[in-house]
């Protein structure tokens, strides 16, 4: 199986070199993959780096459309992908490149449609989140599972594999708003799909800065309510 790894980035100039190096180290000679970075026109030195490091396997796209948006950037990357299996991960090294193979193993062995890299949301320390983010994540997970009658440990994860076929079948129904394209895909789908979860390490951000704001969490809440009404009326 071949994989397109989509990495949305915004002002991540301090992390990309390391991320590419570490992914290469983990995946070389193990799976065939391409890297697709989708940058939302960052006002830093990322572009300079892209010019020097572009190659057949590592592509950089600059999305000029405003306003910037994480989900739209991921969908943009999906559209550019060459392979039938899509991996999405963050560009700030909070997702450990070592875990890619963990997800791939489950994806290949169980022939499921989606594998989610799930953070252990047991305590805020274990999850490497600050207490407020931890409580918000727990609340959103709870809310998601109650209203959509699901049992997903970490539907808010930004680290997952999805079959391109699934994306294609729902792409016209996606809201593509804000941070969580994974729940957008899951909720836009009306066939039965198999979802597996794998525990992952979630590191604290070392370089660069977070783009997560309370506004985004609120947007996510509204997003779920919109999806709920669409879902109920399906
Ligand atoms: N293309 C694009 N990428 C984004 C945007 N916002 C965030 N990102 C990227 O998406 C990934 C996750 O964003 P973060 O800001 O790290 O969000 P987070 O991991 O939930 O928050 P922290 O734990 O505080 O880092 C990173 O690779 C960001 O660079 C955006 O508007 N457009
Ligand atoms: Mg982050």
Atom of ligand 1 nearest to the CA of 39: 1
Query: Would the pTM of this model clear 0.85, i.e. be above it?
Result: yes
**pLDDT, tens digit, for every residue of 29-41?**
999 999 999 999 9
**pLDDT, tens digit, for every residue of 151-186?**
999 999 999 999 999 999 999 999 888 778 999 999
Nearest CA to ligand 1 atom 32: 70
The residues facing 162 across adjacent strands are: 86, 114
* Residue 51 CA, ligand 1 centroid: distance in Å: 22
* Residue 206 CA, ligand 2 centroid: distance in Å: 9
Pair 62, 138: CB distance under 8 Å? no
Give the integer Cα–Cα distance in Å for 18 and 114: 27
Closest by CA to 8, choosing from 171, 219, 212, is 212
* Residue 90 CA, ligand 2 centroid: distance in Å: 6
Nearest CA to ligand 1 atom 28: 9
Best mutation site among 20, 70, 127 for ligand 1 pocket (most ligand atoms within 8 Å of CB): 70
Average pLDDT of the segment spanning 84-102: 97
Domain residues of the chain, as ranges? 2-232
Classify domain 2-232 at the CATH topology level: Spore Coat Polysaccharide Biosynthesis Protein SpsA; Chain A (3.90.550)
**pLDDT, tens digit, for every residue of 3-23?**
999 999 999 999 999 999 999
Ligand nearest to the Cα of 209, by number: 1
* Residue 77 CA, ligand 1 centroid: distance in Å: 15
SS (H, E, C) 62-82: ECCCCCCCHHHHHHHHHHHCC
Give alpha helix (H) positions in 94-180. Answer: 98-110, 131-147, 164-170
- CA dist list (Å): 158 to 51, 91, 155, 233: 27, 10, 9, 27
Give the integer Cα–Cα distance in Å for 234 and 46: 42
- Retrieve residue 180's tokens: 């969580």
pLDDT value for 165: 97
* Residue 70 CA, ligand 1 centroid: distance in Å: 7
pLDDT value for 232: 64
Nearest CA to ligand 1 atom 9: 9
pLDDT value for 159: 98
* Helix, strand, or coil (residue 190): coil
Q: CA 143: distance to chain centroid?
A: 20
| Dihedrals phi, psi of 98, to nearest 5 degrees | -60, -30
* Helix, strand, or coil (residue 118): strand
* Residue 7 CA, ligand 1 centroid: distance in Å: 10
Pocket of ligand 1 (CB under 6 A): 8-10, 12, 38-40, 68-70, 73, 90-92, 94, 158, 205, 210-212
Cis peptide before 219 (omega within 30 of 0): no
Atom of ligand 1 nearest to the CA of 94: 19
* Helix, strand, or coil (residue 86): strand
Q: 167-205: string of b/e by CB count within 10 Å (b at 16+)? A: bebbeeebbbbbbbbbbbbbbbbeeebebbbbebebeee
């Amino acid at each position: 199986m071949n994989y397109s790894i989509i990495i949305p980035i915004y002002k991540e100039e301090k992390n990309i070199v390391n991320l590419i190096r570490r992914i290469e180290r983990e995946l070389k000679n193990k799976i065939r993959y391409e890297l697709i970075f989708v940058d939302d026109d960052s006002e830093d030195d990322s572009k300079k780096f892209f010019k020097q490091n572009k190659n057949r396997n590592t592509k950089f796209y600059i999305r000029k459309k405003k306003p910037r948006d994480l989900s739209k950037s991921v969908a943009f990357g999906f559209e550019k992908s060459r392979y039938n299996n899509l991996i999405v991960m963050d560009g700030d090294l909070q997702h450990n490149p070592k875990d890619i193979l963990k997800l791939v193993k489950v994806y290949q062995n169980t022939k499921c449609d989606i594998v989610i890299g799930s953070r252990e949301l047991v305590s805020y320390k274990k999850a490497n989140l600050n207490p407020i983010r931890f409580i918000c994540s727990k609340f959103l997970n709870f809310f998601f599972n109650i209203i959509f009658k699901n049992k997903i440990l970490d539907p808010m994860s930004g680290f997952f594999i999805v079959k391109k076929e699934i994306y294609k079948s729902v792409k016209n129904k996606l809201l593509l708003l804000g941070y969580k394209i994974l729940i957008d895909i899951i909720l836009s789908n009306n066939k039965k799909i198999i979802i597996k979860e794998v525990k992952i390490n979630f590191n604290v951000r070392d370089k660069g800065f977070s783009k997560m704001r309370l506004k985004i969490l609120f947007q996510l809440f509204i997003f779920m309510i919109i999806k709920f009404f669409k879902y109920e009326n399906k």
